[in-house]
Every structure is written in C-alpha cells, then in structure tokens.
Structure 1
Amino acid sequence: MHTRPRSRSGRNSTGSAQLVGFGLGGLLLTVLAPRTAIALTAAGFLCSALLLRFGTRARPARAAGAATAVGSGSGTGSARTSPLAGFRAVLGDRRLRALTLLFWLPPVFTIAPEALLAPYADAVGAGTAALGVMMCALPVGTIAGELWAGSFLGPETRSRLVAPLAAAGLLPLLVYAVRPGVPVVLAALLAVGLAQAHTLGLDRWYVDAVPEELRGRAMTLLGTGLMAFQGVGMALAGLAAEFAPAHLVVVGAAVLGTAVVLLLLAGLRSATRGSGPRNETGPTAK
C-alpha cells in the first residue's frame, strides 16, 4: 500500500519497510496465532501514536501572508483562514483538483489485487509461502520502478512518462481473467508496481502547480485523502468478492481503473489548457 507523495528516498524507505514488515509478519505467524499477531500490530500503532503525541515538539504553522486565491476565477479564498478554506482552495481549482484526483482515485483500483491475494491464492491452490512472495511483488516492483526513474531518467523524461505509465499501469491485471498461476501473477504485480514510477513526474506537476503558501495544507490533504481512498478500495474489493470470484473482481478493477485514469488525464489536459501555460515537464503554476 502506498502513502502520500514524498521524496524518492522517502518512498523507497517506506517500500523497504513494507517488505520488512511482510517478512516479520510471516515469522510471527510461525510462532503466534493470527489474532495475537494482529493484537501486537495494533499495540505497535498505539505506541507510534503515543510517540508522535508526546515525543515530538509542537511547531507553529508557517504564516501564509495575505489571503491568496488559487487559479483564476476559482474563488477559493485564503489558505490560512481554516482547514475548510485550504480544502476549498485545493479542490476549487480545476487543475489542482484533477492532479489531486490522479493521486487519490487510481489506488482505489490498484489495491484490489493486494486486498484479494489471500482468497485468490486459496482458489488457485497456492500455499502460504507463495502467498507471501506474491504480497511482496507489487512493492518490489514499485521500489524498482522508482529507483530506475529517479536514478536514470531526467525530469523531462519522467514527466513525459506520466500519462502512458498511468494509463497502462493497471492493464497487466487483465491476465487475472484466465486465473493464472503464481508465476504469472507475480509478473503482473511486478509490472503494476513498475508503472508506479509515473508518480515521480506527477509529484513534480503537483508541487509546481500548488502556490507556496498553500503547499503544506495541500500536501496534508493529499496524503490524508490517499490513505482514505486506499481504505475505501480495500473495502470495495472485499465487498465485490462477496458476489464474484476474486480474479473477476481484479479484472473489473483493472478495467474501471484504466477508464478512470484516462478520464482524469483528459480532465487534467483540459484544465491545464484553460488555466495556464504548460512547460516541457508538465502543468505549471500560473
């Protein structure tokens, strides 16, 4: 599962931590009951919350200065008046709204194969070891794709890859239609992870489009919404699997997700054309 936009090193650290977590979780399950392992996980979250609450210093927010409207004709008001004003400032601007939705909505569909890996593995007769390997495939692909894009591609190339990689990112999941075995599923999940390299260019578009005085609120809103939509995606995948086989749910997620991404890219292109110039690396702030 992915979190808010951040630096390449931050992404890779998070992905690496996720892989370590999968490994430690597997080790725990060899000596503990699943219920006990989940209880320990909950206790870990509680300790993290307490550490954040009592182990960090309160830092006042940076003053935003005068009231600032984002985009021409957006009517969004000041970024400093209230959280609701910041929310309106981001989602009230067509270009920022399109960029935000490009972060929020695709994970609703990308999370489906991860959410349904356990029932799918059971349906194809894969064991727990194969399940663990499949759970690692998508994050491994994500780390590899971002390392490749961040280390070997320049900003302009990363920007040009945003649209094609985002549009094709879910298509490997269509192989689920034939209920493939573990090797093919691994390859498909790795490919989906590799396509996440497009988020490096998308990050740049977003940062360039958000005015500096609004950036803190915008990034907080982006990260909060992303985590919320990932949870929604997992819940919807589980609900759909109550009425259809897991492999068909994944195929449906791939088809719907691709359609959503194409619509969002078209909306972003229209908003960029109508609200300001575009440079070689994508949408730019006015």
Structure 2
Amino acid sequence: MKRWLIPGVVFLLTLCSGPAFAARPEIYLEADGALARLTGSPRIDDAQGFGGRLGLLFHGNDFADSLGVELSALRLDGEGGSLGSADIDLYSAALLYEIPIKDQHRWAPGITLGLGWMRADPDLPGEETLALAWGLGVRWFATRNLALRLDVRHWVTDDDGTRQIYAATGGLQLVFGRPWPRPKRVAKEISDRDRDGVEDERDACPDTPVGSRVDERGCVPPPPPDSDGDGVPDAGDRCPGTPSGLQVNPGGCPPDGDGDGVYDVNDACPDTPKGVPVRS
C-alpha cells in the first residue's frame, strides 16, 4: 500500500494544477446509501451504510473539461463472514472525471480515482489502513440543482490486493453552478400570403395586389376626397369648384394667363392688361 501513496499524491496534484481549474466551477453536496462487501481476510459478507460527499467540478473547453476533486465518507455496518460483525469507516479523496456526452445535459457518467483510509471497530488484523479507491458512476439531473447518482466503488487496502471492499451506492445531490442550456426559442412561422408586411391572421385584406401600399389593417387606403374630380385632393385644392374636364395646375386651378379671373379656356381676351375690369 505504501508504494501507491507518493505516486498517487503526485498524480492528483498534477491534474489538479491543470487548465480545468481555471474554468467554471460546480459544487455539489451528496447524501448516500450503500451496500458493500469486504473480501480477503477477514471477510464480511454483507454491509449496509450511509455517507456523504463534497465535490468540486470544473467545466472548461479543452481535454480537461469536467475535471474535479471529491471528498467522501462512508460508514458501513457489516455482518457475517469470518469477522462476525464490524463497523467500518471509509474516507477518500479522489479525482473525478466527468465523461462529456454531446448534446446531453441530464446524464453525466464519471470515473473517480484517488486515495482512501479505512478504520474498523473492532480493529481488523494488519497495520495498513490506506487504500487505493476508484469507481464508476452516473448522475441524472432532474433539474440544474438536483441530481440522482448511482455508482460502484472499489477499495484495495493491502499491498498484495487480498483485502478489498466493493460497494454500490446511490445518492441525492444538491448542485450549484453547473452549466445548463438555455431553453431553445422556437421561431414563429409568419404567414403573409399577399406579401404586404401584415400577417394573414390580422390582415383584413389578405389578397392585396403585390406592391400596393397598405395601412395597418393590410388594406389599400381609400384615396383622399376630391369633390370636383380634378385630381387634386380637396385638402390642397385652391379652386374646389373647377368644372369637370378642365386641366388644372398643382393647386387645383385652371390656367388664367392674364390673371383676370377668367380661365384661359373660357377667356375671349386672354391678354387683358392687369387691373382692367372684365366681363365674365
């Protein structure tokens, strides 16, 4: 067991100093239940217990995406086997790597590898209490802040590997700071059959000719009133009573070259000097 200690510590420190630890942090707290078995000498056939975990996970954009560290504690009540019964405490500090799945944010499988320490009551034979701990698991996120976790863990507590602990755990996590996708906005399909810029569902005139100017209702507005029909709207017509058929200027008046008040079309004397009275 001692030969694992120094390489294991160096391995954890090397990875924890990588680029992932400058990325976005996620923190989680977990409560666990566990079923376990201790093999080797002594042996415990069945053990149940509970525990907790504290994790710090980092989300980046490189190979080191989703690297983190995790501290765990597990209390087991064992019965059966060569020892009869015993209470076993397991502690570990591990590196966690969450395996990314493209376009998937609810399922998060992961791998842990770290160092552990075991304490038993009554004391188990042997002096070694350090352990190599690794495991596989998966988290399912019900929401951004709540997840369920299932995993299997394996502790090796002897140099020759004869004393081992296998445990299956399930837990509930409270999660803080995890990246979460924003809901996708579905673009509304706009139908505009006559292409006048007014949606069909509020277009009072859905068959307006293409290119026509329309009002907010989608209809071609009626022309302004022109009571004398000379083509100049009443609002700007300085001669609103122009007889039908006469050519008019932009002001709505027929030409009157000599300014005597008689339109040229009816003026028998079109060059009357200015100011001279005339007969209509």
| TM-score, structure 2 normalization | 0.21
More RCO (CA 8 Å, sep 6+): 1
The structure where strand makes up a greater share of residues is: 2
The structure where helix makes up a greater share of residues is: 1
